[in-house]
Amino acid sequence: MSCELILGGARSGKSRLAEQRAAGSGAAVHVIVTAEALDAEMDARITRHQADRPAGWQVVEAPRQLAAALEATAAPDRCVVVDCLTLWLANLLDGAETLAPGEGAELLPMFARERAALLDLIPRLPGRVIFVANEVGLGLVPETPLGRLFRDEAGRVNQAVAALCERVVFVAAGLPLVLKDTPRP
């Protein structure tokens, strides 16, 4: 298993880097996408990402059940790109507005179950997996409790996935900065 996390801000080039690394892997590429086209603007973004991908890549949609999609898709002869953990997290936080201030997302059954399933699965994945995620902790403190919960949980998910990956790269202005590169034994 080879696992990589590519972090960056919006329009930083993180998805493009993940696609380049997947294309250069020499393996069959599968992409697990987590976005949902809930409005015209998001539909346009999804269409743009689809147009940027090579035609032969297989695409799996998994807006919430990412661990199950990864388990079904990952294989020794494949490179799987997960784009992106941040949208997956946003989908899992549906219903978080009902939490009392200070309560954590672990009180949301779907969030707790899906996060635990993903983190348990990552060390057992065959083949190569490249996760893409937004780094949301570099900006201003969000005004709302829901915004702060999202920022906090995104940071926690990124830290947990980074700890399980051999390679972690931060992308800014299209330039990759390697944060972690631990070769497999």
183 Cβ contact list (under 8 Å, min separation 6): 166
Helix (H) or strand (E) holding 102: none
Distance (Å, whole) CA 89 – CA 166? 22
Tell me the two tokens of residue 142: 């969000």
49 an active-site residue? yes
Q: Are strands 58-61 and 28-33 parallel, antiparallel or unpaired?
A: parallel
Q: Are strands 175-181 and 167-172 parallel, antiparallel or unpaired?
A: antiparallel
Contact between 70 and 82 under an 8 Å Cβ cutoff? The reply is yes
Our CA angle for 118, 31, 91, nearest 5°, is 50
Residue in 2, 27, 49, 64 annotated catalytic: 49
- What residues are annotated to the active site? 49
